[in-house]
């Protein structure tokens, strides 16, 4: 159980760091004029 919970904790920490990084990237893109082109590519 301890190994599973330790793995889950590390996975959640890695996912949290990735989510924060993605949020910062999205915020930096949103401040620039290229956000419309990014949305156009995604859409």
Domain spans, the chain: 2-42
Would the pTM of this model clear 0.85, i.e. be above it?
no
User: Cβ(29)–Cβ(38) under 8 Å?
Assistant: yes
Neighbours of 38 (CB within 10 A): 13
Q: What is the DSSP letter of 41?
A: H
Query: Cα–Cα distance between 29 and 25 in angstroms, integer?
Result: 6
**pLDDT at residue number 24:** 86
Closest by alpha carbon to 25, among 43, 12, 38, 7? Answer: 38
- Residues 1-43: pLDDT tens digits? 677 889 999 999 999 999 999 888 888 776 666 666 666 776 6
Query: Cα–Cα distance between 31 and 25 in angstroms, integer?
Result: 10
């Amino acid at each position: 159980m301890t190994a599973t919970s330790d793995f889950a904790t590390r996975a959640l920490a890695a996912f949290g760091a990735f989510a924060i990084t993605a949020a910062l990237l999205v915020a930096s893109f949103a401040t620039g004029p290229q956000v419309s082109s990014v949305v156009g590519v995604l859409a």
